Structure formats: structure tokens, C-alpha cells
Structure 1
Amino acid sequence: MTIRPLVILPDARLRVTSEPVGTITGEVRKLASDMLETMYDAPGVGLAAIQIGEPTRIVTVDTSKDKEARNPLVLLDPEIVWASEETRSYEEGCLSIPEYYAEVVRPDRVRVRFRTLDGEVVEQEADGLLATCLQHEIDHLNGVLFIDHISKLKRDRVLKKFAKAAKRGQEAA
């Protein structure tokens, strides 16, 4: 397992639509393993492959709070097949937009269809934090960021802040 560098806003790769996984190979398994290691190291509760520069439809999630009771979930080619009409507001953050948090309203419950690393097609219903996390990570696979769900004014401020930080980083290099 390898901890991979995170792709940080304003990197254009975060807006790329990821490609289907296709055949489950050793490379796919290694990528999923690296993603879990990177997610836990960050630390975060979810990670999409594009966040480590891989435009592949893979998501890792673990909303457990206890390091001893980890419950990792690897989703290949996940898609939301149902969402509740009831919504829930949750303060979201993102490993690709470090140290920025905002309230985002999303469906409270979702049903997600995905393949496991064994190739099994599964449908799983989720609510609360897990539902929010799954929606957030699946958005990443479609080039959508959580800041796309907040007001234009707030989003523009965040984009400007991260563009300036990236420019300062390039000038220092």
C-alpha cells in the first residue's frame, strides 16, 4: 500500500469525468488499496480515485470513528439509483479543498449500486453521514465538487483563495 499525493483545487483534474473501471485487475485492487491508505492517512472518510489523479470510477469510504473498528467500503462504478425527497444539511469538507467547510443540503437517504472488488453487483441503502459521503464522492467521479452545491458568492471566494495559494506555491518553487 502506498500513500499517494492528493490533487488539490484549483487542479483541473478535479473537473474530469472519470471512466468506468472495466475488468477488475491487480492494478485496480492496488489502486483501491492505495486509496484506502491515502484516505486514512489524510485523515478523511471518503476518497474518489480522481483525488489522487486517477480518472477511474472508484470510491473508498469509511465513516467509522474508531481506528480499531474500521469498516472500509470500496465501490467500483458506483451510481445513485434512488434518493429520498427528504433532505439533510451537513457540514462538508474535502481532502482536495483542505481546511474549508460549508453546509451542503443533499438527500437524506440514497440507494447506491456498485461492484465490489470481487465483481459482485451490490445495492446498498445509506442514510446520515454515509449517504452524504457517498453522494460527495460520486459527485467527484462526475467532476462535481461540494462547493458546487453552495452559493456562487461563497464558491467564487473559495476558488479565488485556492487559485492564489496555487500561484504562490508556483512562485516559491
Structure 2
Amino acid sequence: MNQNLTCKTVQELEEFLREHYHAEQIEPIEYLLYNARQQVLNLFYPEQMQQISEQVGFSPEADEEISALFDCMTETFDRETAKSCYVQYRFEQTAPEGAQAVFYITVEKRNTGFVLPQFEWASDGQEQEFPDVSEEDYRYFNRIMREIVLYQGVSEQDIRENSSKYERYQIAKEFWDSVC
């Protein structure tokens, strides 16, 4: 499989978000940061997360106290050992048939370049958690998510070596191709 992919930096991704989507950097929103941190730690530090989990006795059925201790220890590992540095961007988009969404992009910019785009429905003052959105508008928003997730690409070396970065890229590409 001969793919001509370019590998872009986190800075290029940030510039792309600002120029293409008029995204603004915001103070990180805690629950979105939590989601990104958990994914970074599970993808890039699975052995350490397993050790912390075993150390505190964490499991999906763990009580609140154990879960809170696990969260605290993983956050400490992320901040002090992994030394992750997160930034968040926000922008709004209106799809062709009128659905509106607010996108939040969390990027770990120091070590991994991991990017996690998420969106929420824009509030028009009405309490509507799941608005009536057309299939076309869903695909529109999914294409934005795909573009952001895959923007950085992978290097020719990653492809040649079938690196874990390339494997993650391939998995993400297959998923986003299936929903777009």
C-alpha cells in the first residue's frame, strides 16, 4: 500500500484549526480534558495505567472512593511523570441543513500529538439534548471530525516500519471513513 502521507506538527494542526475553522484557544474544560487524558494514558502508557489500576484495586465496578483515588493517581502520573501539556480549541459550525454544533478540540502537544475532537449540539435556548438532525448534517460533522483526527498524518518511516502511530492512524481512518 503506497500512501503519500505527510506528517504535520502539532503547531501546524493548531494553525490549521485557527485558519480553517476560526478556532480559538480556550481554558481547558475539565470533563473534556478528562476524556482526552484517559485516552492519552490508555494509548501511550498502558503498562503504567495497569500498574496504577492494580495498586489501587480499580475496576469498572469499583466504588466512588477507589475510582476517585485512581483518577487522582492517573492525573498525577500524567502531570508529573508523563509531563503532558494539553490545549483546547473551540469553534462553531452550521451544517448544510441547519444543524449547529460547537466543536472542542483537545491536543496533547508536548509528547504525543494526540488530538481528540468532540462536539456538542449548539444550544438555541431550548432544552434539546438530541436535536432532530439529518443524515447529511451528521455526515458533515463527522467529516470535520475525520479531517481533524487525520490532519497530522504519519511519516513515510511510520508506514515503512508499521509503527504504532501508523496502526492508530489506520484504525482511525477506517473508522472515520465508515461514518463519513
Larger Rg: 2
TM over 0.5: no
TM-score relative to the length of structure 2? 0.25
TM-score relative to the length of structure 1? 0.25
